């Protein structure tokens, strides 16, 4: 969780740095600096989105782990049922001649 917050913070900083570069490039007429700023902004936004996805996935994994630990028999039953269904789908019944 702390890793996701750290990555999100880095993304915010990169986005802010990109906005400053973009503005400075626009004021001075430096197209290269302006382009670098836009790239930094996009990079920062992507880092923030990835941090959000990572945080959501981590929360879902924690919930699943807690469910399995709290209800091991139900979890085992579900695993057996899913395995049986997948086995029937992929391997089917063998036809005897």
Residue 58 confidence class, pLDDT cut points 50, 70, 90:
confident
pLDDT band at 83 (very low <50, low <70, confident <90, very high): very high
In this structure, what token pair is assigned to residue 79? 């695993």
Residue with tokens 């709290």: 70
Average model confidence (pLDDT) across the chain: 86
Tokens of 54: 């990572």
Q: Give 81's pLDDT tier (boundaries 50, 70, 90).
A: very high
Q: What is the mean pLDDT of residues 27-43?
A: 91
């Amino acid at each position: 969780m702390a890793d996701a917050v750290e990555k999100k913070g880095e993304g915010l900083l990169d986005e802010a740095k990109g906005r400053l570069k973009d503005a400075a490039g626009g004021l001075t007429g430096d197209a290269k600096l302006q382009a670098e700023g836009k790239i930094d902004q996009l990079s920062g936004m992507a880092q923030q989105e990835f941090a959000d996805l990572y945080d959501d996935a981590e929360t879902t994994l924690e919930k699943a782990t807690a469910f399995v630990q709290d209800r091991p028999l139900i979890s085992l039953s579900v695993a057996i049922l899913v395995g049986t269904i997948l086995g029937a789908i992929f391997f089917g019944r063998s036809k005897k001649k």
